[in-house]
């Protein structure tokens, strides 16, 4: 049975894999704020359901069936975020938490109605791609703002949506998807990254700059 917990685990594993990182039980424990023993038990359950493959000390990987479910949950989540933002005017720092609740109960009928109402959006309010109805997910080569060298520029494509306080801060600076940003300087030893946005300069902490994905400009 696909419980909310099962869906949460599959989504978390997919997000880890999308970042190219190894999906460890320790990482899942931290991401989901669940005790390591509980994570181990759930991973074994998911393996029996043939939704993941798990080898001790080798990490966890989604099967095709597990990935299909994860993408459906992510589609629900990001469509709900878009609906809340565009149809109801909810600010981008408040839609994530609400969508976490809706994603598990949204019917296919409501999913299609939202999609039609919004004009079939391809990204959510934070710039994250919305999986297509057939389960496909567009791939793009993006870089973290923190990785750009001084003088390089890019267009913001996506901002991490897991921290409402961070989103409010970035919103105050005007760091939204589709905004052009240029790196002016990058201090060594994990120092701040100074960027120019619409003529204004802002110094961003290295960790903050790492939460912003950009499409580099030539």
| Domain ranges across the chain | 4-62, 77-139, 143-216
DSSP 152-194: -EEEEEEE--S-HHHHHHHHHHT--TT-EEEEEEE-TTT--EE
For the domain made up of 143-216, give the CATH fold. SH3 type barrels. (2.30.30)
| Secondary element (H or E) of residue 37 | helix 36-48
Instruction: Categorize the per-residue pLDDT at 161 as very low, low, confident or very high, splitting at 50, 70 and 90.
Output: very high
DSSP state of 11: H
CA-closest candidate to residue 125, choices 102, 158, 155: 158
Task: Give the integer Cα–Cα distance in Å for 14 and 125.
Answer: 20
Residue 34 pLDDT class (50, 70, 90 cuts):
very high
Residue 164 has pLDDT above 80, yes or no: yes
Weakest-pLDDT range from 22-26, 33-37, 174-178: 22-26
Maximum Cα–Cα distance for the chain, whole Å?
A: 56
Please report the pLDDT score of residue 202 as a whole number. Answer: 96
123 CA to centre of own chain: 11
Per-residue pLDDT at 22: 73
| 19: confidence class by pLDDT, cuts 50, 70, 90 | confident
Q: What are phi and psi of 40, to 5 degrees?
A: -60, -45
Angle of CA points 141, 146, 149, to nearest 5°: 85
Of all residues in the chain, the percent with pLDDT exceeding 90 is 83
Query: Is the pLDDT assigned to residue 84 strictly greater than 90?
Result: yes
pTM comes to 0.90
- Beta-strand pair 212-216/200-204: unpaired
The CATH architecture assigned to 77-139 reads: Orthogonal Bundle (1.10)
Q: Count how many Cα atoms sit within 13 Å of the Cα of residue 47 in the half-sphere of its side chain.
A: 13
Q: What does the mean pLDDT of the chain come to?
A: 94
Digit-coded pLDDT (tens) for 94-152: 999 999 999 999 999 999 999 999 999 999 999 999 999 998 888 778 999 999 999 99
Question: What is the topology classification, in CATH, of domain 4-62?
Answer: Arc Repressor Mutant, subunit A (1.10.10)
Residue 58 has pLDDT above 90, yes or no: no
Q: Do domains 4-62 and 77-139 have the same CATH topology?
A: yes
* Whether the predicted pLDDT of 196 surpasses 90: yes
Ranges 26-30, 68-72, 74-78: which has the least confidence = 26-30
């Amino acid at each position: 049975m696909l419980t909310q917990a099962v869906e949460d685990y599959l989504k978390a594993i997919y997000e880890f894999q999308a970042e190219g990182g190894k999906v460890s039980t320790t990482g899942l424990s931290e991401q989901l704020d669940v005790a390591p023993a509980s994570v181990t038990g759930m991973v074994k359950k998911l393996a029996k359901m043939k939704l993941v493959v798990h080898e001790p000390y080798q990490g966890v990987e989604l099967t095709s069936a597990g990935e299909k479910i994860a993408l459906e949950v992510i589609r629900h989540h990001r469509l709900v975020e878009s609906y809340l933002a565009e149809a109801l005017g909810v600010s981008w720092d408040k839609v994530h938490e609400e969508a976490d609740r809706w994603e598990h109960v949204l019917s296919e009928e409501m999913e299609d109605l939202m999609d039609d109402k919004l004009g079939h959006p391809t990204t959510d309010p934070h710039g994250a791609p919305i999986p297509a109805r057939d389960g496909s997910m567009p791939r793009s080569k993006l870089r973290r703002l923190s990785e750009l060298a001084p003088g390089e520029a890019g267009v913001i494509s996506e901002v991490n949506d897991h921290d409402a306080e961070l989103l409010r801060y970035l919103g105050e600076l005007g760091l939204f998807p589709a905004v052009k940003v240029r790196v002016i300087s990058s201090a060594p030893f994990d120092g701040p990254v100074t960027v120019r946005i619409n003529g204004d300069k802002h110094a961003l902490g290295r960790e903050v700059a790492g939460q912003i994905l950009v499409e580099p400009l030539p």
